[in-house]
Amino acid sequence: MAPSTFAAGFVEDSHATLQTSNFYLNRDFREDAGVSKREEWAQGFVLDFRSGYTPGTVGFGIDALGMLGLKLDSAPDRSGTGLLPVGQDGRAPDQYSKFGLAAKVKVSKTELKVGTQILKYPVIASSTGRILPQTFQGGILTAKELDNFTFTLGDINRTTLRDYSHNQALTLVNKNKRFKATPDADDFKLAGGDYAISKSLTLSYQYGELENIYRQQYLGLVHSLPLGSGTLKTDVRYYVSDDVGNAGAGKVDNRTLNALVGYSLGGHGIGLGYQGLSGATAMPYVVGTDASLTNYMMANDFMERDERSWQLRYSYDFAALGIAGLTFATRYTTASHANPATVAGEGREWERDTDLGYTIQSGALKNVAVLWRNAALRSNYLRDIDENRLIVSYTLPLL
């Protein structure tokens, strides 16, 4: 293949960006003994390169992720925010980095990618809420050969957490002693499909299995309906989880229903959500990941056994008033009937999250985004938390 022919696909269709985030986090514990606060300030850089494909029936390409985190402020008595690694002495290093490659092959509308990847699926989703994202190693096959249908098949064997440089085995979240153990697993399998019945209605099914620990089935529905001058959106998610193989974490038995109905009109958005868990245990998910539930909040996940939670949310885009780039959003979730293993009696809690953001629209600082996030958690079985995050981010296109 001539170099110019190769470049026409692999090089000319390549994309690269440099993502930067300056992140300050302060988590203030309002009661009880122990560490009184977590507070750190860090700078992150993510170089994301994605090649095009070589020409021909079978196209080949490569993706690369290079990441660097720099400590700006930390101390042993307040480390552990998730921004930076924590050494055995409680100190954060001055810097940490990670690098990953993924080879990819494409035939028609089917793509296979093997290597380091950021995942966003209902049964496994990388945490991207700090300066560097969580990554996974493995293979993902995505096929779009049928109109309006996307099929996904995956096999994942390692993860690198957002504040780590090295990869490690997989396990499940065991907050508040939800399960009997947290054994390592060398394999997570996923399979499923999304079917867009129309532009306004999509149905999804996905299966995930953490080797010898748990298996999980997901059903999802997203529907949009024009109503009056606005749009009514419905998002329903249902999970069924149980133990599998030798049940290394003990019994897993859970069903979780999550539903959100929202209405948007002009710059306004309002939503009402419900999340209910049933079964003998809490809902399992892979350690380090973000659970794909609308009631998964900044400080708490509201996923204890038998927990019921309601959420009310509101957002406003000030572009409707002629102030482009300024946005506001708030969510309030209240919960009851939680049955954690760490305390006797009914667990009750609430959390309020608020975001205020602005993206500069012009001038030398165009597209620089500033976001202030605030959370307040009050619980009768967890430590109360007040949390503030200040994030300044910018993405620079390189190719």
Q: What is the DSSP string of 332-345?
A: EEEEEEE--TTSSS
To the nearest whole number, what is the mean pLDDT of the chain?
96
Phi/psi at 33 (5° precision)? -75, 165
Cβ atoms of 43 and 69 closer than 8 Å: yes
Cβ atoms of 336 and 308 closer than 8 Å: yes
| pTM exceeding 0.75 | yes
Per-residue pLDDT at 283: 98
Cβ atoms of 98 and 135 closer than 8 Å: yes
Interatomic CA distance for residues 377 and 382, integer angstroms = 9
Estimate to the nearest angstrom the gap between the alpha carbon of 170 and the chain centroid: 16
Q: At residue 399, does pLDDT exceed 70?
A: yes
Mean pLDDT of 53-72: 97
Cβ atoms of 134 and 160 closer than 8 Å: yes
Per-residue pLDDT at 6: 52
Cβ atoms of 124 and 132 closer than 8 Å: no
Level-2 CATH architecture, domain 3-397: Beta Barrel (2.40)
Q: At residue 4, does pLDDT exceed 90?
A: no
Per-residue pLDDT at 31: 75
Q: At residue 302, does pLDDT exceed 80?
A: yes
Interatomic CA distance for residues 40 and 330, integer angstroms = 24
Mean pLDDT of 76-81: 95
Phi/psi at 3 (5° precision)? -55, -40
Cβ atoms of 134 and 69 closer than 8 Å: no
Interatomic CA distance for residues 173 and 210, integer angstroms = 12
* pLDDT level of residue 3 (50, 70, 90 thresholds): low
The residue type found at 281 is: T
Interatomic CA distance for residues 278 and 314, integer angstroms = 28
Q: At residue 380, does pLDDT exceed 90?
A: yes
Per-residue pLDDT at 145: 97
In the chain, the percentage of residues whose pLDDT exceeds 90 is 94
